[in-house]
Amino acid sequence: MKRFFIFGLAALMSFICVSLVSASPAKRYDEATKTCRTFDQDSFWWGSGAKTFRSTCKSCHTRGGEGGFLHVESKTSRAWSRVFFEKYPKCAQDGSWDSLTMDELLKLNDYLYRFGAFTYDANDANDCG
Ligand code: HEC
Which pLDDT does position 14 carry in this prediction?
Answer: 60
| Protein residue whose Cα sits closest to atom 42 of ligand 1 | 67
Q: Which of 90, 107, 112 to mutate to test the pocket of ligand 1 (most atoms within 8 A of CB)?
A: 90
N-terminal to C-terminal alpha carbon distance within the chain? 35
Contact at 8 Å (CB) between 61 and 55? no
Note down pLDDT in tens along the chain; length 129 residues.
677 666 666 666 665 545 445 578 999 999 999 999 999 988 999 999 999 999 999 999 999 999 999 999 999 999 999 999 999 999 999 999 999 999 999 999 999 999 999 998 888 877 775
Distance separating alpha carbons of residues 129 and 104, to the nearest angstrom? 29
| Protein residue whose Cα sits closest to atom 27 of ligand 1 | 89
